[in-house]
Amino acid sequence: MTATMPAEPIDQDSARHPATGDLPLRRPGGLGAAGVMYGAIFATSFRDQLAYAGQLALRGLFLAMILFVFLQLWRATYEAQGTGAGGTLGGFTIAQMLWYLALAESIILSRPRITLEIDREVRTGEIAYVLLRPYGYAGYRLARYLAERLLRFGICLALGTALALLYVGPVPLSPPSLAAALVALALALLLDFLAMLGIGLLAFWVEDTTSITLLYDRLVMLLGGMMLPLDVFPEPIATVARALPFSQLVYGPARLALSSTPQELAPLLLRQVVALAVTGLLVHRLHAAAFHRIHSNGG
Amino acid sequence: MPPIIEAQRLEKRFMAKQAPPGLLRSLLAAARPTYREIVAVHPCTFAVEPGELVAFIGPNGAGKSTTIKMLTGILHPSAGEARVLGLVPWRDRRTLSLNISAIFGQKSQLWYHLPPRATFDLLARVYDLSPAEYRRRAGELIDLFDLRPYLHTPVRRLSLGERMRCEIAAALLHRPRVLFLDEPTIGLDVIAKQRIRSLIRRLNADEGVTVFLTSHDAGDVEQVCRRVIIINHGMIILDAPISTLKREFLQTKVIDLLLDQDDQDDQPAPDTLPFEGVRVTERAEARLRLEVDTTLQPIDRVIAHLIARYRVADVTIADPPMEELIAQIYQRRPPNARAPESAGQAPPLEVSP
């Protein structure tokens, strides 16, 4: 800063501006007010998503097709392996395999394209309206992401469950494992959000983040265990894939949901917490740098 | 009372990546990009008093929007100081946002698939308005902006004028003390523009909202504002009451005519007109551009003369372009104030109020 303006002292604890007297200068509210604010963004975003009913229906149709194709492929694979009825591959019966795929596909198909939205907001300058509000950009994005993702995931999961029941019938599920899977899934969604937010924020440096998004999406699909559980990957690829954070987004929660006991939860949670801490720190730094760097796009 | 907006040597520079011509150079540039420093806003100093209606205008690329973005805390300046309501915008962005609002004419804050009411409901929560306060304020704005007929219509089905009224109402829900308007009437028809302008004036009169407006439309400036600051290459070249601008610089109107000359009997476009203060500046087949000095010749007289003698297919009346206005201002400034780079902060033209 090259010049110093005579300071106009602002009494931050007072509700009024010391000069004009009638100004309702306020600090942004506390945790409760923030909850109401982000809750309202979540609710509005959820309502907005309902406008895309056609898109939601298409996703459902796509899920039904994928599960049907995978069922046929896995049936042929199980028969070729000569496992017979009740036989397993990588510890999965064919029924468990289809249930795994229903869960994994629901996780993948519910992923919002927030990197591209951030990219567009930065390029068009629409980000200006977000920055004019008394909320943080990351919080605003998280509220919108959760609304979109939870709605889509709920629909995909309901449909996936119905299809799995229709195609292969029920599989034994353990309530403690399901509860553990829910915890792992919550962390997985948060980790995925942080990664996508970080990629989106790169729009402040690169012209277009589409290629980075594409690369990340493919890594999540391939190494995350979307098409097949990591247990049937050949070694050493399976070990490498398990060690990478992508498996914590899809394979981890889906595998846990089908386990007989939740004993896999502790190591998975540990890895998720470490991944969240590292990604969170990186995104925090990126966020600070991006918003300091921001300059006018589109005048 | 101290100014509500103060900027002191406020400056914005940024580095822009260069795109060289040719495939080979482009490939080399991808591996080793080169950057050029762009000065979006040269150091500029000004102040706005509470309740003022200020037009902050200039040609494309003059730094108007960038200045607004710095004053609203969206952009960090490269140098200089600014205070809005006593707060440093980029440092106290969230607190400031509770007390100001902005409209960017080419961008929307409304949720596209939802009715305007949904955005109002959301903003009431965001700005922590009590249900009673929200009902009262929303009722006032809905009546003032006449929004009731399409309050429950999805935004995507609204006309631009209707949407713009909703945008401004949404921006005013939390009773901001300062309203920044960046091209608020862009793309609107004449009627919608008039309506928006009169609404802004009324808000200023009724609620004392300070208005800081940028626009390419001289109508916005003349009809809404009482003071004008003209910026060129980030330098303030005029800071004066609107009355001065009108009296000393906005004395001409430009008439663009398209003559209907399908028949051979039709008269060709004239080279001159028999009126003092009227000059033909362009003449090409059926097109004609005239410059009318409105202090010497009423514009309706010129139009009446043309319609009586020619078959007119289309006519538009506009103010002279901003570049011309700026050229006029420069012509009247002392020579040592004409070189922005050497002058740093160019002294504004001295004009009588």
pLDDT tens readout for residues B237-281 = 889 898 888 777 777 888 888 887 766 566 667 777 888 888 888
Q: Which chain B residue has the Cα nearest residue A130?
A: B109
Under an 8 A CB cutoff, do A10 and B14 touch? no
Digit-coded pLDDT (tens) for A285-295:
999 888 877 75
Distance from CA of A41 to the nearest CA of B (A): 7
- pLDDT value of residue A8: 47
Both tokens assigned to B196: 């928006």
Cβ–Cβ < 8 Å for A248, A192? no
Amino acid at A65: M
Query: Which string of b and e fits B60-70 if b means at least 16 CB within 10 Å?
Result: eebbbbbbbbb
Closest by CA to B325, choosing from B194, B234, B237, is B237
Nearest CA to B250 out of B199, B178, B326 is that of B326
Mean of the per-residue pLDDT values of chain B: 83
Residue A7 has pLDDT above 50, yes or no: no
Q: Average of pLDDT values for B9-14?
A: 87
Whose tokens are 């898109």? That residue is A55
Write out chain B in H/E/C secondary structure. Answer: CCCCEEEEEEEEEEEEECCCCCHHHHHHHHHCCCEEEEEEEEEEEEEECCCCEEEEECCCCCCHHHHHHHHCCCCCCCEEEEEECCECCCCCHHHHHCCEEEEECCCCCCCCCCCHHHHHHHHHHHCCCCHHHHHHHHHHHHHHCCCHHHCCCCHHHCCHHHHHHHHHHHHHCCCCCEEEEECCCCCCCHHHHHHHHHHHHHHHHHHCCEEEEECCCHHHHHHHCCEEEEEECCEEEEEEEHHHHHHHCCCEEEEEEEECCCCCCCCCCCCCCCCCCEEEEEEECCEEEEEEECCCCCHHHHHHHHHHHCCEEEEEEECCCHHHHHHHHHHCCCHHHCCHHHHCCCCCCCCCC
Residue in chain A nearest B111 by alpha carbon: A48
pLDDT confidence tier of residue B295, bands split at 50, 70 and 90: confident
Of A37, A41, A203, give the one whose Cα is nearest residue A117. Answer: A203
Q: What are phi and psi of B170, to 5 degrees?
A: -60, -40
Residue of B nearest to A45 (CA): B111
Mean pLDDT, residues B54-67 taken together? 85
d(CA B247, CA A161): 76
Is A26 in the B-facing interface, judged by CB distances under 8 Å? yes
Residue A85: predicted pLDDT: 61
Phi, psi of B242 (to 5 degrees): -60, -35
Q: Are A212 and A202 in contact (CB under 8 A)?
A: yes
Residue pLDDT, tens place only, A259-269: 888 788 888 99
pLDDT band at residue A27 under the 50/70/90 scheme: low
> Which residue type sits at B188?
L
Residue whose C-alpha is closest to residue B58's, from B189, B230, B225: B230
Give per-residue pLDDT as tens, A41-95: 999 999 998 887 787 888 888 888 888 888 888 888 888 877 666 788 888 888 8
Q: In the predicted model, is pLDDT for residue B94 greater than 90? A: no
B125·A295 Cβ contact <8 A: no
Q: How far apart are CA B5 and CA B2, in angstroms?
A: 9
The whole-angstrom distance between residue B216's C-alpha and the CA centroid of its chain comes to 5
> Whole-angstrom Cα distance, residue A34 to residue B178?
24
CA distances, B109 to each of A135, A226, B192 (Å) = 15, 37, 19
In chain A, positions 210-239, which contact chain B (CB-CB < 8 Å)?
none
Q: Is the pLDDT of residue B211 over 60?
A: yes
* Contact criterion met (CB < 8 Å) for A135 and B66: no
Distances from the Cα of A185 to the Cα of A188, A269, B233, angstroms? 5, 10, 53
Closest Cα partner for B1 from B48, B71, B70?
Answer: B48
Query: How far does the CA of residue B114 sit from the closest CA of chain A (Å)?
Result: 6
Is A137 a residue whose pLDDT tops 70?
Answer: yes
Place of tokens 């596209």: B112
Q: Does the beta-carbon distance from A134 to B12 stay under 8 Å?
A: no
Q: How far is the C-alpha of B254 from the C-alpha of B252, rounded, in Å?
A: 7
- Contacts B183 to A, Cβ<8 Å: none
| pLDDT at B234 (0 to 100) | 66
Q: Does the predicted interface ipTM exceed a cut of 0.90? A: no
**Reading across the β-sheet that carries B79-84, which strands appear in turn?**
B35-48, B5-17, B79-84
Reduced to 3 states, what is the DSSP secondary structure of residue A99?
helix
Mean of the per-residue pLDDT values for chain A?
84
- The residue that leads in pLDDT, B249 or B206, is B206
For residue B235 the two structure tokens come to 């330098």
What pLDDT score was predicted for residue A26? 63
Question: How many CB atoms are closer than 10 A to CB B56?
Answer: 31
**Tokens 């009731």 sit on residue:** B148
Following CA atoms A132, A134, A136, A139 in sequence, which dihedral angle do they give, to the nearest 10 degrees?
-120
- The C-alpha atoms of residue A286 and residue B31 are separated, in whole angstroms, by 23
pLDDT(B83) > 50: yes
8 Å CB contact of A5 and B14: no
Instruction: Please state, in angstroms and rounded to a whole number, the distance separating the CA atoms of residues A276 and A269.
Output: 10
Q: How far is B65 from chain A (nearest CA, A)?
A: 6
Report the pLDDT value the prediction gives residue A289, as an integer from 0 to 100.
Answer: 87
Query: What are the b/e assignments for B35-54, b being 16+ CB within 10 Å?
Result: eeeebbbbbbbbebebbbbb
Cα within 13 Å of Cα(B283), Cβ side:
10
A80-132 pLDDT, tens digit per residue, is: 877 666 788 888 888 899 899 999 999 998 999 999 999 888 888 788 888 88
Using the beta-carbon criterion (under 8 Å), do B107 and A125 form an inter-chain contact?
Answer: yes
A4, A5, A28 member nearest B94 (Cβ): A28
Question: How many contacts, defined by CB atoms under 8 Å, are there between A and B?
Answer: 147
**Taking 70 as the threshold, does the pLDDT of residue A15 lie above it?**
no
Is pLDDT of B15 > 60?
Answer: yes
